[in-house]
Every structure is written in C-alpha cells, then in structure tokens.
Amino acid sequence: MFKPTVGPIIGHTTTHHTRIFLRGDLQKKDSVFAAIRYRRIGDTQWSSGIFAELDPLRDLSNVIALHHLHADTHYEYQAGWFGTDGTKPSPEALRQMPLQWPKEVYRFHTTSSEITTPRSYIVGSCRYLRMTLGVPSLPSKGDKIFGAINRLVQKSWPPVSALIMTGDQVYVDDMNLVSPDREYREILDKYRAAFSQPHIQALMASVPTYMILDDHEIEDNWPAKANSNDAALYRNAMAAYEIYQASHSPAHESLTEGQPALELKHYWYRFAQGDTEWFVTDSRTRRNLAVDDRRILDADQEQALLEWLINSPARVKFLVTSVMFYPDSKSDDGDAWKAFPEQRLRILETIRIHKIKNVVIVSGDVHGSMTSRLRYSEDPDFEVHTIVSSPFCNSAWLPYAKASNFILDQPLVQTATGDYRLELTSKVISQDNFAHLTVDVEKIRVEYRDSNGDYLDAVNLALHIPL
C-alpha cells in the first residue's frame, strides 16, 4: 500500500461517527482502492480494513465513513491506497488481501456527549499559496501558520474540537493578471498542492475540518464579474470544490452503508457539538444580483437559517458567513453584506424580535481580524457579536485591513423604531493570524495568534446565562 497523495483529512465528526477523505493515484489500468483501519488508543487489535474504490472522475479520491465509534474517545488509524491486478475484486476478496499498511499512524478524537463541556475551535480563512507553472511558490510561507496551529492543538485545553475554514482555502485566480487557471486539471493541481503541504496535512489528519468556499475558489468577487465565458470556469471550480472541500462535510447526508451520498443538494450545512451549534452558510454561489430581489443567500437557505435561529435549542449559535456581515467597509465593491441590506436586516430583526441570545457571527475575507458587538438603541437586551479571522497567509500583492477601512462612527442600520450600532471589542489585526475560540459557560474567549503561534490579542465575549 502507498501513503495517500492528499490526506487523510478528518471531516465531519460526531460522538459516534467520522468521515475521512483521502486520494490515491493511477496505477496502470488497474482498479484503485483506498483502505483505512482503526482502533481505540490503548487497544492492540486493529479493525478490519474498510475499503472504497477511487474513481478517476473524483480525482482518484473518496471518503470513508466510520460508524459505531465511542463518544469522547481517542482513536488511531492507518490509511493508504493500492491497485489491484486485472479484474475488480469482490468485497470479500479485498478483505482477504495481505496488505502492507503504511507505517504512518494518525489520531482523531470523537466529540464529547457532555452537553455543557467547554469546547475550543480554530477559525481562519484566506490561505494564499501562489502557483507558478503548476508549482507552489514559497510553499513554506503558505504552510507555516498550520505548524503553529498544530503546536497549539497539542497543548490546548479544552481539546480543539474542530478547524473551521471560512473561505479562500485555495486561490484558483492567483495568477489572473498573467495566466488565469480555468481548466479542471489546473484547479485540481491547486487543491492537491494546497492540501498536501506538511503542516496543513498533519493538522487535517487529526482535527475535524469544516470548510466553506468564498470567491477565490472560483474568481475574485464572484459572481459580480461573471460573463458568458465563465460557465466552464464555474463548472470546473465547483467540481473540484465538491471533491476536496464539500465531500467530507455535513452537506452530504450519510447512507446506511456508511458512504456519503454523491448528490449535493446545497453547500450550506449545520453541525452541533453539545450546546454549541454552527450554521455554515453558502454566501457565494446562491447570490441573486437582480435589483428587485438582491440576495446573498437564496430564499431556501435564508428560510432554513431563520428557522434555525428561532428553533435551535443550542445555547450558543455560531453563524458562519465567508464575507463580512459587519462592520461595513468604507469601500463599496458590492461584495459583502453591506450590498444586501434588506436580507441582513431580516436576519437581525429575527434575532431581536425573537429575543435570541448568544448569536455569534463568524467570517473572514477582509485580510484583517477583529471582534465587534452590535446593539440596538431601543432594546438593551439585544446583542450580537462578530468574530472575523483572516488571513492565514496573505499575498504580497494584497493589503491588510486596518480599522480606518471600516465604518465605525455611524449606525449599521437605521430603522423606523431604532438604530443598530456597533463597536469594536478588539483591535484590528493587520497581519497573518488565526483565531482560537474557547466556549465556556459564561464566555467565549477569542485569542488571535500569529504565524509563529505567538499571542496577538484576546477578548472575552460574555454569554447570556438563562435565569
């Protein structure tokens, strides 16, 4: 057996289930299979091998789902791929094969079933890994911060429950001014290079990773600049996105035999851990730019989001949107929520009217990080926090955001009955960074750290505690 050429990547993980992505490679004209075996740490007996065929139509990748796991338990696993001679073997023949497993042993941890146990998360976005003639330029720069995250994961308490990547995990359009990548093979090369660098590979092999796309997975400010020639670009970009980012996410429903369904109804999804729940929106591919009904989220997604806000029993609700919900930028490129004020107001009014507590909006995109708080002038009980974390690794061609880039001295929204006003609750960080979130009973602690893992800033966001 051979080591995976990309992965393994631990995806959606619950108390009793996890999904593991991996990619192999071609081997003449033989059938190619991936295999995983696992055991609880401390046990001596490995499970039987679990196999999945690797299809060239999915870039020789697949996702293997493990079921009937134990909650809050550390597991170790081995993963690899191999080719078979001649005809495709039966499942029984696969199980009887004398396999030589790769020596690498990876670890993952299932979710705790305790409702109120403290949890921590890593949040970030915008990882620039420029490709020149198909080869990453200065790959260690684009991978450095993930080494720092790995070191933090090793010592963090509470343990890191998930890595949340909120957009621009790859820059398909990094060379747009010179030689834009538009072909399917070129885009697949971007993903293979981005996800196989040593530090990010080690991180994603052990920490459940949840992703959602932003514009650079397709094209800058998509779809505002789209034209009739971009249909193939979009088709190619989304096919690659579905393989490398969506395949191991909760957007796929799980089948009884353990394999995620191939058909995706949409890219947005939800997942819960104890009394903390995440709604990860697709604020990029379902936009409507028509003047009479501008939407950043399609109607079905908005309805699902509002119903979740109102009905979810979660004590803490994280709403992920790849682009900034607030504060608004002084520039107006029509790309963020500022350009969709009616839909934004509907969400805010739902939170206020239904008196929904502990809503935290998480985003990236702007190449600057900060926390801020939104209040309503006529309702002292209304409060919504936002956490922005960006970038993991910036391009030398792109500026970092500063506080002076944002509108902070006037209401976000003025309504007939009152004003929504915001204030920064942290400094604006203008360098490569990531956020470490710890959710406790009384607060969410947000720590920003640089690409070496060194402390930059921290803030405690108070949580409402029911009487």
CATH of the domain at 11: 2.60.40.10
Q: How many domains does the chain have?
A: 2
Tell which wins on pLDDT, 384 or 96. Answer: 384
User: Are 320 and 456 found together in one domain?
Assistant: yes
Instruction: Grade residue 272 by pLDDT with cuts at 50, 70 and 90.
Output: very high
pLDDT of residue 223: 94
Structural domain including 70 reads 6-109
What end-to-end distance do the CA atoms of the chain give, in Å? 57
Using CB atoms within 10 Å of the CB of residue 178, give its burial: 0 to 12 exposed, 13 to 18 middle, 19+ buried. Answer: exposed
CATH code at position 368: 3.60.21.70
pLDDT for 387-443, tens place per residue? 999 999 998 888 999 999 999 999 999 999 999 999 999 999 999 999 999 999 999
Those residues with Cβ within 8 angstroms of residue 70's Cβ, 6 or more apart along the chain or in another chain: 16, 40, 110
Domain boundary among 67, 90, 109: 109
Distant-in-sequence, close-in-space partners of 116: CB < 8 Å, separation ≥ 6: 274, 275, 315, 441
Last residue of a domain, one of 109, 127, 153: 109
Angle between helices 341-353 and 299-311 (to 10 degrees): 20
Are 58 and 135 members of one domain? no
What residues contact 394, with CB distance under 8 A and at least 6 apart? 126, 128, 367, 400, 431, 432
Could you tell me if 52 and 145 lie in one domain? Answer: no
Has residue 467 been placed in a domain?
no
Considering the domain boundaries, does residue 438 fall inside one?
yes
| Residue 134: pLDDT band with limits 50, 70, 90 | low
| pLDDT level of residue 209 (50, 70, 90 thresholds) | very high
If you average pLDDT over every residue of the chain, what do you get?
93
State the pLDDT confidence band at 257, using cuts at 50, 70 and 90.
low
Q: Are residues 153 and 92 in the same domain?
A: no
Task: Say if residue 71's pLDDT is above 90.
Answer: yes
Residues 102 and 241 in one domain: no
At 276-289, the pLDDT tens digits run: 999 999 999 999 99
Do 234 and 323 belong together in one domain? yes
Among 109, 139, 166, the domain-final residue is 109
> Are 10 and 127 members of one domain?
no
233 pLDDT more than 90: yes
pLDDT for res 130: 75
Closest listed residue to residue 442, CA positions, set 351, 316, 314, 320: 316
